[in-house]
Amino acid sequence: MVTRRSLLAAPALLIRGKAAEERPNVLFIASDDLNHSLGCYGHPIVKSPNIDRIASMGVRFDRAYCQFPLCGPSRTSLMSGLRPDSTRILGNQIAIRDTRPDVVTLPQLFRNNGWHSVRVGKMYHMDVPGSVGTNKWDDPPSWDIAISPPGKEQHTQGQGRNLTEGKGRAAWQTIAFTGEGKDQADNTAAELAIETVEKNRNRPFFLGLGFLRPHLPTVAPARFFDLYPLANIQAVRNPPNDRDDIPKASEIAINTRANDMGMNELDRREAIRAYYACISYMDWQVGRVLAALDKANLTRRTIIFFWGDHGWHLGEHHRWHKRSLFEESARAPLIVAAPGRKGAGRGSQSLVEFVDMYPTLAQLAGLKPPPVLEGQSFVPLLDNPGRTWKSAAFTQMADPPNGITGRSVTTGRYRYTRWEGAYPDEELYDHASDPKEYTNLTRDSRQAALLKQLRGTLDAGRKAAQAKV
């Protein structure tokens, strides 16, 4: 069993090739169920000063897309550099070695080349709150040290309620507690990350730091709820006919998180407030770790990736979940701060995919990745964020119990989605005139040529969409 003592007493590894002091550290930060509700992404009220600081040091990707809007498939894809069709993981509660026993994961690549590889918190799939504190579905070959801190989650003492109680099967619990949360998994994860930094000043490390928030239950110190007076929270206003042209397959796939989960407007505003509070709480933990890097004089020697594993609906199309192929679910935050890159402090509108993280980080560290990777390094965007890049990004969904599969492609301006299986259908949205995707243009005969073109883009796949370097 891995303990804090074993973490701190782990022996130094032999560093091959470059001297240890020449190798960059990696701080690989994940936030669970995080959408673009961040200050650096232009949100008008959410306070995220520490994540904003990472953006000021690096490049903020405004059009980064996950490969599958569900925790297990998304994380497995980005950690393996393989798309869901290749990992064959289309749901949760399955480990990468179950389908790809010989895969070399991203942290494993660093570990194999002399980096001290440490995981604290959630990196691969972990049921929240059910398996918090366990190593289920983790990947032991990825890490020298792996710790899943326990946390009280929905059992935390504080003020709050289940906003959907008596209104549906799914729960949205909010809890505002006193103090700083010493009994929360994210607090312990930050402390262990800080200790890892302090104890590894003289050898390169790959630190996978996985925060649970803002994943449900929305649990945070009361002071973070206080940042967002309920009077300042606005619920999403969907057009009255919004759902008339949404395919049945899309509605079924969202399952119990549709129809506003039975919440009235006040409930919805409270849910949004709690989600924002959890983002600011998670951001505070990020700040604690950044301060440790500064104190150890390692910030200039550390590559920082900050990402959410997929997006999250907060009432758009009356949904409160991921598991959709709408923009709010497929697009997620990605910020990369690599010392010495010319694009620092800028945003990029170029299309990138989460499967691109693996080859990008390998290139930044001077490592040769496995030839089977299915993403493309976007290192050139870190020097020139405005340059032309990929022509399309791809996201897919599956709901095997209901016989549903969906595949979606975005070109930046357009999103085309094809549903297959029990309820075949299509969707087409023009973000230039309809950024919230309220009008499905597949019913418009004037879009026949465009629809044909985008069908071809989806069928041509990733290789045809790659950037020309």
Is 278 part of the annotated catalytic residue set?
no
Q: Is 26 helix (H, G, I), strand (E, B) or coil?
A: strand
The answer to whether the CB of 389 falls within 8 A of the CB of 351 is yes
Residue type, 79: M
CB-based contact 119:196 (threshold 8 Å): no
From 116, 125, 313, 318, the catalytic residue:
125
The Cα–Cα gap between 271 and 172 comes to 7
Helix (H) or strand (E) holding 64: strand 64-65
Q: What is the DSSP string of 108-135?
A: HHHHHTT-EEEEEE-SS---TTTTTTS-
159-162 and 173-177 beta bridge pairing? antiparallel
Helical pair 71-80 and 357-365, crossing angle rounded to 10 deg: 30
Burial 358-391 (b: 16+ CB within 10 A, else e): bbbbbbbbebebbeebbbbbbbbbbebbeeebbb
Residue of 66, 71, 310, 317 with catalytic role? 71
Work out the number of other CB atoms within 10 angstroms of the CB of residue 230.
Answer: 11
| Residue 2: count of CB within 10 angstroms of its CB | 15
Q: Which two tokens stand for residue 209?
A: 């730091």
Q: Coil, strand or helix: which one is 381?
A: helix
Residue 353 bridge partners (DSSP): 65
Pairing of the two strands 334-337 and 346-348 = unpaired
Active site residue 321: no
Question: Which active-site residues does the annotation give?
Answer: 71, 125
